[in-house]
Structure 1
Amino acid sequence: MTIAKTQDGELSEQAAIDRLLKGMFDAAIAIAQPAVRIPKFLPKVPAGRVIVIGAGKASAAMARAFENNWPGKLEGLVVTRYGYGISCERIEIVEAAHPVPDQNGLLAAARMMQLVNGLTPDDLVVCVISGGGSALLPLPIEGMTLTDKQRINQALLDSGASISEMNCVRRHLSAIKGGRLAAACHPARVLNLLISDVPADGLHDIASGPTVADPTTCNDALAIVDRYRIVLPPHARAMLVDGTAESPKAGDPRLARVETHLIATPQMALEAAAAFAAQHHVAAHILSDAIEGEARDVGKVMAAIARQVARGDKPFSAPCVILSGGETTVTVRGNGKGGRNVEFLLSMGIALNGEARVHVLAGDTDGVDGREEIAGALLRPDTLARAREFNRSPMTSLENNDAHSFFQALGDSVITGPTMTNVNDFRAIFIDAPGNTQQTNKGISHAPSA
């Protein structure tokens, strides 16, 4: 077995494991970069205009990649999160707020609808869409204001609703989501280039599906609103009740010329991480790219699996890494900094209670976990012991939804900055070989860092 060398000598076992976990996270992000994926899906040059529109945390990078590889004329408008803008020469990039929408997003959404108005069958609309687009295109239905959208969006985020449930409500309270943007492009051809950040890659859930048919109904949205006790403006609720807020469905003739490609997915990212692990002689097992549920509950389940591997060598043999993705939820009860990935980690750490040989990284591939400019964090066997030295109570932090502060105090946050992509949550659980501790140099082989 070899351990990577540094100028100061051999890496510690912990440093080597951290490098493995971070390397897998980096590999997952790298495979989903727009500059890598967009050139594989360029369409033929049409007879008419080419208009690029889109929204999401990766949309500006997607627009730049398309522009850099497009041989003809084009124009367009794309909206992305503050701090995620990348300048283009022919496509206007607007920055707006996420996850709670703002006026910039509202104005950009209205302008986008105007831009695609009056197109012809010879024209081509290229839609570059990624996760985050729901908040970035806040164009409400009649009877609702931006303030209403902000309040409802925050209530959904705090409710514990799944991403599919939240997006169902968003689609039916929107004048642009749920296929309405594609319908506005008719009769032009529409080419969707999508980066998926949702479980099972549901097209209608990526940015709430502005350019694809919506399989859900007003009744579905109403049931979700009632389940989580979300208060709607009376007129908006009435539109759900009588069906006037219904979205375009499959078979709608306005969507007949829509073509969709998933250019990057969570599964693709997990496979890239598994390949990185294999290069470093560690067996990797992908559980699922679509795990949902309360973050703290998922943390307990993953702790049980990791403990079974560490103590019983089942269902996998150590050393190994267990990979998963998806999008958990957090029901906000406290006033902490939140973050579903760090809440998952803290819950898992409490359940593991210092279990030797189990090391975990969890993070959001867009670089932002919750409302913090932090991707996620690392969990180690000594995390709880070190927390006690800092007078940090894991349980108190968990109950206050304040896992970000917990891991920041330990220096264990994972900070990437804007990654310019978004293929959902990433979780890597490394279980070291039997008999190894953090102080040994056994059980893992690492190449030198670049």
Structure 2
Amino acid sequence: MTITTATLREMARSIFIQSLTDCSVEEAFARLVRVSDSGRRVLIGGSEAIDLEHLKHLRIVAVGKASATMLGALLNCLKGLPHDVAGILIAGAQPANLPPGFQFFAGGHPLPNEASQAGARAALEMLHGLREGRSDAAATLCLFLISGGGSAMMELPLDPSITLAEMRSFYQELVHSGASIAEINCIRKHFSAVKGGRLAVAAAGVATLSLLVSDVAPDHLDALASGPTLPDTSTVDQCREIVARYGLQDQFPAAVRRFFDRLDLPETPKPGSFAGKAITLLSSDQLAAAARVRAEGLGFHAVIDNTCDDWDYQAAAEYLVGRLRSLRSIHPRICLISAGEVTVKLPSTLSKRGLTGVGGRNQHFSLYAATLLDPSDASTVILSAGSDGIDGNSQAAGAVVDEGTLETDAQYGDAAAQKYLREFDSHSILAPLGSTIVTGPTGNNLRDLRILLAAN
């Protein structure tokens, strides 16, 4: 029986929403903290178990889009333990039930703000205090709860003469450069006093553990939030090469240019320089796997293909549409799943021309993908959305399109779509068409998910 395009659209939305539910932060922490055979609560990570009831002092630094959810889930698992618990929460919004002993900072994203700097200073101050004059360090544990978005939400330049306005301009150029997140964060690590392992180094002498909800590729965990607590595998030379390749040096404010021009640009802490223990609680791999299970439950043959991770949005869309067409010739009901991010380079002339488009990489990808579909792609649906519920500067998480999304009239036809793509204003055409996906902030952040469905 042929499935209508409308039904496929609802199925794609359902797979996306249910996959987010299946990757719950709360459930991830419940799996992490367990009761041992002796009846004591322990934190299980890899081959080691930390006896939580042995601890007297627990300090927490939580930063990123999922940090409030992570902190709430952790504290729920620790209820009843006689810990002295305190810490720093740097997130988009303050939770209603933030306990005493925690300082909150509303860090900015995608650009840092005053709270980003204040939160970074508070975290460094707390960590320095931990290693100075404490006689019971063996009974102290510092947990870092790190999630995507932390790069902007917690920031402090290595060069204290760089102003907040200059730092925001620097971040703006990085975000619009078209570079991958790993490349952008390589630059940020060498700019920052709290990135590239420097935050963990501030806690030297105290037991630390990082718990990660990752929005980066699994083999680039030190790029998550620009790696504040993990040894950095990137180098100053790589940083300079990326800046040169994307022509960024001339775009940076003068103070930032002078910083990167330094012959003695400080190198970040490298593997082996400190013990950066970390546990990945959730990642995009788990999100893609959850989507596959959901799609198979709906009767689709499901394939995961992350080949186009970090590709330019056009190349990624063309690859995935071509792959779907090929798979469709074999399987009557096919679901192609792709996790990760695509890149969209915004020209510096955009703001100078007074153009203020609304949208993000997911809607931009979806709109371009819609232009690739033709009548031969009947019963094809393409969804792209961010697991954090936020796509660029819009209120949407992403969008879902099909072969009939772009009509033939001038207002919503292919020519109009090309205009909105040129102006990076995808939301303004997709929203009136009912194609946007609005979830609100999810409290999670596992990169983007693309779901392509086709039924013969």
- What TM-score does the superposition give when structure 1 sets the normalisation length? 0.87
Identity %: 29
Determine the C-alpha separation between the residues in 2 that align with 1:138 and 1:417.
25
> Which residue matches 1:411?
434
In structure 1, what residue type is equivalent to 2:268?
Answer: S
Shift in alpha-carbon separation, 1:430–1:96, aligned structure 2, 3 A:
same
Q: Which moved more, 1:39-48 or 1:266-275?
A: 39-48
Shift in alpha-carbon separation, 1:415–1:430, aligned structure 2, 3 A:
same
Determine the C-alpha separation between the residues in 1 that align with 2:11 and 2:94.
27
Query: Residue 377 of structure 1: CA displacement?
Result: 0.6
1:420-439 to structure 2, matched below 5 A, reads 420-433=443-456
Query: Residue 18 of structure 1: CA displacement?
Result: 2.2
> Which residue matches 2:129?
118
* 1:251-294 CA-partner distances (Å, limit 9, x unpaired): 11xx22x3200000101001111111111111111012771111
Determine the C-alpha separation between the residues in 2 that align with 1:224 and 1:41.
37
> Which residue matches 1:187?
205
> Which residue matches 1:443?
none
Shift in alpha-carbon separation, 1:203–1:15, aligned structure 2, 3 A:
same
What is the count of residue pairs matched by the alignment? 416
Asked whether the equivalents of residues 172 and 240 of structure 1 are also in contact (C-alpha less than 8 Å), the reply is no
> Which residue matches 1:79?
90
Determine the C-alpha separation between the residues in 1 that align with 2:236 and 2:258.
10
In structure 2, what residue type is equivalent to 1:133?
Answer: G
Determine the C-alpha separation between the residues in 1 that align with 2:325 and 2:185.
35
Query: Residue 232 of structure 1: CA displacement?
Result: 5.1
> Which residue matches 1:156?
174
Query: Residue 234 of structure 1: CA displacement?
Result: 4.8
Shift in alpha-carbon separation, 1:290–1:267, aligned structure 2, 3 A:
farther
Aligned with 1:304: secondary structure? helix
1:120-269 to structure 2, matched below 5 A, reads 120=131, 121-122=137-138, 123-142=140-159, 143-230=161-248, 231=252, 233-234=254-255, 237-238=258-259, 241-252=262-273, 255-256=274-275, 258-269=276-287
Q: 1:323 aligns with which of 322, 326, 337?
A: 337
Aligned with 1:219: secondary structure? helix
Query: Residue 307 of structure 1: CA displacement?
Result: 2.9
Aligned with 1:338: secondary structure? coil
Shift in alpha-carbon separation, 1:304–1:418, aligned structure 2, 3 A:
same
Determine the C-alpha separation between the residues in 2 that align with 1:102 and 1:289.
35
Aligned with 1:126: secondary structure? strand
Q: Which moved more, 1:93-102 or 1:127-136?
A: 93-102
Query: Residue 147 of structure 1: CA displacement?
Result: 1.6
> Which residue matches 1:304?
322
> Which residue matches 2:19?
28
Determine the C-alpha separation between the residues in 2 that align with 1:48 and 1:386.
68
Shift in alpha-carbon separation, 1:379–1:235, aligned structure 2, 3 A:
closer
Query: Residue 80 of structure 1: CA displacement?
Result: 1.1
Query: Residue 380 of structure 1: CA displacement?
Result: 1.3
1:94 aligns with 2:105: yes
Determine the C-alpha separation between the residues in 1 that align with 2:420 and 2:308.
27
Determine the C-alpha separation between the residues in 1 that align with 2:396 and 2:307.
21
Determine the C-alpha separation between the residues in 1 that align with 2:232 and 2:215.
17
1:50 aligns with 2:41: no
1:372-387 to structure 2, matched below 5 A, reads 372-385=394-407
Off by >6 Å, runs of 4+ in structure 1: none
* 1:116-137 CA-partner distances (Å, limit 9, x unpaired): 1132532211111110000101
Asked whether the equivalents of residues 308 and 342 of structure 2 are also in contact (C-alpha less than 8 Å), the reply is no
Q: Which moved more, 1:414-423 or 1:66-75?
A: 66-75
Shift in alpha-carbon separation, 1:84–1:374, aligned structure 2, 3 A:
farther
Aligned with 1:426: secondary structure? strand
> Which residue matches 1:41?
32
Determine the C-alpha separation between the residues in 2 that align with 1:305 and 1:289.
11
1:19 aligns with 2:10: yes
In structure 1, what residue type is equivalent to 2:226?
Answer: S
Q: Which moved more, 1:114-123 or 1:211-220?
A: 114-123
- What TM-score does the superposition give when structure 2 sets the normalisation length? 0.86
Asked whether the equivalents of residues 406 and 412 of structure 2 are also in contact (C-alpha less than 8 Å), the reply is no
RMSD: 2.1
Query: Residue 69 of structure 1: CA displacement?
Result: 0.8
* 1:220-268 CA-partner distances (Å, limit 9, x unpaired): 112222222222545764566434421111111xx22x32000001010
Determine the C-alpha separation between the residues in 2 that align with 1:94 and 1:201.
30
Asked whether the equivalents of residues 64 and 86 of structure 1 are also in contact (C-alpha less than 8 Å), the reply is no
Determine the C-alpha separation between the residues in 2 that align with 1:382 and 1:15.
10
Determine the C-alpha separation between the residues in 2 that align with 1:400 and 1:353.
23
Q: Which moved more, 1:117-126 or 1:100-109?
A: 117-126
Q: Which has the higher contact order (CA 8 A, sep 6+)?
A: 1
